[in-house]
Every structure is written in C-alpha cells, then in structure tokens.
Amino acid sequence: MISNKKRGVSDSDTPSSNDQKLNTTHLSMKKLLLSFCFLVLTSFLWAQVQKKQVYNDFSRWSLGLNGGISIFRGDMVSFSADKTYLGGQGGLQLGYQLTPTFGLSLTADMGQGKGSAKKWEKEFKIYPTGESYYGTLPEEGFAYYNDVYSKVKYFTIGLHGDFNVNNFFGKKELRRWTVLISPAVYLQKFSPKLYKKEDDKRFDPSSTLDNDLNLGVGGDIALRYRASKHIDLQLKSGVTWIANNNFDGVATCCSSKYNWLANLSVGVVWKMGNNKKKENLMYAPARSEPPVTLPVKEETRPVVKEERKPVVKEEKKPVENVVKVETSAKTFPVLPTIHFQRNLAVIDTVRFAGELSRIVEALKEFPGVKVDIRGYTDHTGTDRVNLPLSLKRAEALKSYLVGKGVSADRMSTFGEGKDMSVDQKDIYTEKARKVEVKKH
C-alpha cells in the first residue's frame, strides 16, 4: 500500500489544504488578470483623448517573427546539477500602436525545453506516475531526480501592453533605437515527459498529471532597431511566471511560487501600411500637438460718407501719338544649395565651385538685396547636436561670401536643424545636409 508520502503529499498537507492553496493561487491570478485588463483599458481610453489628426501620417499595425532560446525552472531546471539544457522557441507577434508611447500586441509562441535535478535535490525520488516520494521505504520502480530529465513542449498566447521607454525621456522623431517594456498576461499549455538519462527511454508512461490550460503573468523587454521605413530588427528577452506546479512533469508536496519560463530571441518586424505613411506611430514625437490657429481680430473702421463731387466737363483734345515703353525689372534668381559631409561644417570649394560662383555673382548683381542663409542637417542625432551644426554650416557660407566681397550686413544666418522638406528616403543622405540662400 502506498502512503500519502508516495503520492507527493506530506503528513501535514491534507487534500483540503492542497485545494485551499490551489484556490488561493487561482484567486491571485484573477486579481493580476483584472489589474492588467484595467491598465490596458485606461491606456486605451487615454489614447482616444489624443488629437487623432496629429498622427494621420503614421501607420499603426505591425507583424513580427521571432526565434531564440528558452530555459525554465520548476522541480526540474534547465541549469541542472550535471548539465545545462537550452531549449528553443519561435513565434509571431501582431502589434497595434495606440499612441507613440503605448501600444498593444498579441503573441503566439511554441517551444521546447529540457531540465533535470537541482544540486540539492539530486537524491529526491520520483515514480513513473510523476509523483515525488518523501518516505524512507520507496516501492519498486522509483528513480532519483538526478537519473531522469524532463522534456517540456509548450504553447503560449500573450496579451501585452507595450510602453515606449524612449518617449519618457524625450520626443525625438524617427529615432534609430527604441526600448520597449511589455507587461503581459499569458494563456499557457504544457506537455511534459520524463526520460531516463542512461538510455533516453520514457520513464513516466503512466503519468496522469493535470496539464490543462492555465494563466501566467510576466513580460518582455525589447531593443528595437529601425532598419528601414518598412522593417525593424529587435532583440527581446522575456520571463513568465507559471502557476501550474506540474508543468515539468513532476508533482511535489506543495505548490511552488518560483516556477518560470524565460526566453531570449531575435526577430524582424514588418511595419504594415508604410507605403502611404511616414512611419509607424511608435516613431512619432511623443508630445506632438496639432497646429493652433489664432483667431484674427477684425478691425472696424468708421464709415465715411462720400460727398458727391461736381461733374467737370472735359474738353476733347486731339490725341497725340504716344510711344509705349516697356521696362523689364530683373528678379532675384533662385540660388543653388551647398551640401556637406556628415558631422562637418566645412565647404568643399572645389566640388561646389560653380554653385559658389553663381551665388557670389547674384549677390553682386543685386547689391541692395538682403538674404537669409539657412543651414540644415540630416535626421541622424538629436536636436542638441543638429541645431548648432546647422548654424555652423550657415556661418561657413556667410564667411566665404564675406571673403568674396559681399557685405556681412546683407546676410542673416539661421540654424534650422533637421531638414523636414526632403523625402523620407533622403532624410539620412547628403540631400538633407545643406545650406540655402534666399531673398530676405
């Protein structure tokens, strides 16, 4: 006859106490799930308050593919006493960006991992049913924890709230690197099997452990790299707490609070709809505001009654031959732009000799015209770097023109920072690194 100890139950843990622990675990999971749903709902409502027209130029949907390694910890662990077992995991993610700072994503992942005994549990005993034994007189057929390993196949579906950490520290648009933190709730399904280490044969064919669907909580942290307008690359790490104490195929006397599944993966993300959009909404400025139109105050003028003037009868005079002389005034021409290498404010006078000559000739031809010289940068870097650099480029051209005899009083310089007038495909090219000269 098998005692309670054989069935994975200690003398002090009755079935009613186990049921009570199980109910407590389920209650805790429900509270966590409700809290997460409340967070998602409040974030969604907050997003609806935003001025939607600000983000009309940005797409919202994305689809990702991820793959990497996984490890787990239960009664069996991937970093076991005698060996390290690395599993594999792959899956899809579907994302929807509500605001530049917050979005939702749905993930579906499949994976497989292995594990064996911890160093301090190598001598624990287990039966082919998957139940642990804590007595001193085990029946025939048992094995030590260290003599078996667990192979766990799993499938998870996760609902994530994705927070763009970059936007908590600034509002830079079209950045290259983005950090995302994503708390999540998961629906999990585990399929464990135990094998003997000596011959890799199945040890637990008679296991009847319950491994139905269960809930878990956890989250990811991801480093996203903006590779192009349509594609992002990402490195993602996640961990999930597992409420199912039998997920690894081993039943013990009490429920563990330290069962978890972790993964490290790389992936590619396709930003859907960017053919007709500027970028994904995640890359929009965090605190963009729609342009404000100020009301125009209408001026009221007194109505002046116009007096009738006496009609003067004009005498007809002979018409003399009049020769009409047309005068054509010259207009200030459109001047060429001067371009720069990245991070430099030095003019290549050899390469742009023709352009510089045309600018000098135009300014000398129109000595009374004042001009504005505006410098620009590409979209690499922050405004703290780009604004001073763009001004230096404008000052460099002004200094050149002064050296050619153009009065400095006629020229005003401005540093505009990133050039927002170029096409999306050119924001990191030489076309955006320029200086323009226009009539004031």
Nearest 10 degrees: Cα torsion 161, 166, 171, 175: -110
Q: Which two tokens stand for residue 228?
A: 């192009």
Q: What's the average model confidence in pLDDT over 141-167?
A: 95
pLDDT at 300: 46
Instruction: Read off the DSSP letter of residue 24.
Output: H
153 shares a domain with 41: yes
Give the confidence band of 278 by pLDDT, cuts at 50, 70, 90.
confident
The model's pTM is: 0.59
pLDDT digits (tens, 9 = 90+) for 114-146: 999 999 999 999 999 889 888 778 888 899 999
Q: What percent of the chain has pLDDT over 70?
A: 76
pLDDT at 276: 85
343 shares a domain with 231: no
pLDDT at 43: 55
pLDDT at 71: 97
**Does position 247 have pLDDT exceeding 50, yes or no?**
yes
176 shares a domain with 239: yes
Which residue segment(s) compose the domain that 75 sits in?
Answer: 15-283
* 248, 72 Cβ separation under 8 angstroms: yes
pLDDT at 26: 55
Give the confidence band of 383 by pLDDT, cuts at 50, 70, 90.
confident
Q: What percent of the chain has pLDDT over 90?
A: 59
Taking alpha carbons only, the member of 288, 287, 278, 284 closest to residue 97 is 284
pLDDT digits (tens, 9 = 90+) for 7-31: 444 443 444 444 454 455 555 666 6
Asked if the structure places residue 319 within a domain, the reply is no
Most confident of 280-289, 337-346, 421-430: 337-346
DSSP states along 331-397: -PPPPPPEE--TT-----TTTTHHHHHHHHHHHHHSTT--EEEEEEE-SSS-HHHHHHHHHHHHHHH
Domain count, the chain: 2
Asked if the structure places residue 225 within a domain, the reply is yes
pLDDT at 100: 92
* 340, 434 Cβ separation under 8 angstroms: yes
164 shares a domain with 101: yes
Instruction: Read off the DSSP letter of residue 306.
Output: P
User: What CATH number does residue 254 fall under?
Assistant: 2.40.160.20
**Does position 54 have pLDDT exceeding 70, yes or no?**
no
Distance of CA 404 to the CA centre of its chain: 49
pLDDT digits (tens, 9 = 90+) for 287-342: 544 444 444 444 445 454 555 555 555 555 554 444 444 445 689 999 999 999 99
Which amino acid type is present at position 241?
A: W
User: What CATH number does residue 435 fall under?
Assistant: 3.30.1330.60
Give the confidence band of 372 by pLDDT, cuts at 50, 70, 90.
very high
Asked if the structure places residue 403 within a domain, the reply is yes
348 shares a domain with 271: no
pLDDT at 32: 61
Asked if the structure places residue 3 within a domain, the reply is no
